[in-house]
């Protein structure tokens, strides 16, 4: 029988010798210098309004909308063009109007009263009705309230904005018309043989609205 033990011993010794010759991987160098601290942003506290400070009113409550039959300044509110509504207008705008008699076109005075705020005049009959009442707006805001038509057009709006809101041409380039409607029993001076119309009139200087007058119409001769 052949003996194999010496051969195995020699082979094992050779394997150990070769493994000792394999170099170990070099360790990664340790960086020198101290590590930079992580950046922590500074958060500024959100400022809060002091107790009792005033805040702007929501647009729906602040905007005065003028229409042919009445005005409104908040959801559900109506301001009539009437001498009996002076207190309601005063409460809505936050200031009382200056009241004065209205002069007639041929002298004397009419049975009407002009209610004036800077930038706004509401002319009303003295009998408490709204028949014959009129409104003239000459400033973008009145007593701090933006004044616009139902289409959102106000003094300072452009011709293009007015047309986009539905305005149509008037007698000439200085006028546009909004919310036009027929007035039965009248005859148009602009369209002979047809019923007259009334509307919200926009007066322009160039391409800018400078006044809002209502009602305008095409059947009155003065």
pLDDT tens figures, 189-222: 999 999 999 999 999 999 999 999 999 999 997 6
- Show the beta-strand stretches assigned E in 46-108: 64-66, 70-72, 79-80, 98-103
The average pLDDT across 23-29 equals 47
Structure-model confidence comparison of residues 4 and 101, the more confident one: 101
156 found inside a domain: yes
185 found inside a domain: yes
pLDDT tens figures, 106-159: 999 999 999 999 999 999 999 999 999 999 999 999 999 999 999 999 999 999
Q: Is a pLDDT exceeding 60 seen at residue 94? A: yes
State how many domains the chain has.
1
Q: Which of 62-76, 171-185, 189-203 has the lowest mean pLDDT?
A: 62-76
138 found inside a domain: yes
172 found inside a domain: yes
Are 97 and 116 in contact by the 8 Å Cβ rule? The answer is yes
DSSP sequence for 51-66:
TT---PPPHHHH-EEE
Structure-model confidence comparison of residues 216 and 16, the more confident one: 216
Q: Is a pLDDT exceeding 70 seen at residue 61? A: no
9 found inside a domain: no
The three-state DSSP-derived secondary structure of the chain is: CCCCHHHHHHHHHHHHHHHHHCCCCCCCCCCCCCCCCCCCCCCCCCCCCCCCCCCCCCHHHHCEEECCCEEECCCCCCEECCHHHHHHHHHHHCCCCEEEEEECECECEEEEEEEEECCEEEEEECCCCCCCCEEEECCCEECCEEEECCCCCCCCCEHHHHHHCCCEECCCCCEEEEEEEEEEEEECCCCCCCEEEEEEEEEEECCEEEEEEEEEECCCCC
Whole domain around residue 144: which residue ranges? Answer: 59-217
Give the per-residue pLDDT at 149: 97
28 found inside a domain: no
Structure-model confidence comparison of residues 178 and 20, the more confident one: 178
87 found inside a domain: yes
């Amino acid at each position: 029988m052949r003996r194999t033990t010496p051969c195995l011993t020699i082979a094992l010794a050779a394997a150990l010798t070769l493994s000792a010759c394999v170099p170990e991987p070099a360790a990664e160098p340790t960086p020198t210098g101290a590590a930079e601290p992580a950046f922590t942003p500074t958060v500024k506290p959100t400022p809060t309004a002091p107790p009792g400070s005033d805040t702007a009113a929501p647009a729906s409550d602040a905007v005065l909308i003028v229409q042919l039959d009445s005005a409104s300044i908040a959801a559900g509110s109506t301001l009539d063009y009437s001498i009996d509504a002076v207190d309601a207008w005063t409460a809505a705008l936050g200031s009382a109007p200056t009241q004065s008699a209205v002069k007639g076109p041929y002298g004397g005075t009419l049975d009407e009263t002009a209610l004036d705020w800077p930038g706004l005049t509401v002319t009303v009959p003295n009998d408490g009705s709204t028949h014959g009442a009129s409104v003239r707006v000459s400033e973008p805001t009145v007593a701090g309230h933006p004044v616009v038509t139902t289409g959102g057009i106000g003094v300072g709006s452009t011709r293009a904005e007015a047309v986009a809101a539905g305005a149509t041409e008037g007698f000439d380039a200085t006028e546009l018309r909004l919310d036009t409607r027929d007035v039965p029993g009248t005859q148009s001076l602009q369209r002979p043989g047809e019923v007259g119309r009334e509307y919200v009139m926009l007066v322009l200087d160039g391409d800018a609205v400078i006044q809002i007058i209502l009602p305008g119409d095409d059947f009155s001769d003065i």
